[in-house]
Structure 1
């Protein structure tokens, strides 16, 4: 199990190594923006501030978005504890 901290709210939840970040949030009743849950709508787009994720299928992100740390929570599977943010800045 990995722990995910949401910034700036400070909410936290656990995600198994086989769940996506979004699945873990919804299972823990943590509000998390989402619509399609397949990576097409970008509602769950957030920034990875700390930690590592992997994907079964690489999401459609530009190289610049990847460098800035953007992830699709509906597709991202944690490989460590995470800190994610819905804010543009990662100054926490």
Structure 2
């Protein structure tokens, strides 16, 4: 019997791009799987190329990323490490 996987919608600002992600995918994996040119380099949370700001929604991390308390308070996330837990609105500078 196959397990039903929740799909969540991710809205990427200011480009007004919408794509979906399962709860087994990171934000970056979902974007790349949808054919979106999302900035990235290392895909392990070191280079900070994929950092974006979470406006709304929930994510989780297997390993907490190296973000300062100030960056976390401002909503910054590492898309390569952030697993989608709800619909998201993200801002990509």
TM-score strictly above 0.5: yes
Unmatched runs of 5 consecutive residues or more in structure 1: 88-92
Unmatched runs of 5 consecutive residues or more in structure 2: 1-6
Question: Residue 2 of structure 1: which of 3, 8, 25 is its match?
Answer: 8
1:40 aligns with 2:49: no
Q: CA RMSD in A?
A: 0.5
- In structure 1, distance between residues paired with 2:47 and 2:18: 24
TM-score relative to the length of structure 2: 0.92
Report the number of matched residues.
87
**CA offsets per residue over residues 11-63 of structure 1, 9 Å max, x none?**
01110100000000000001100000000000000000010100000000000
Please say which structure displays the higher CA radius of gyration. 2
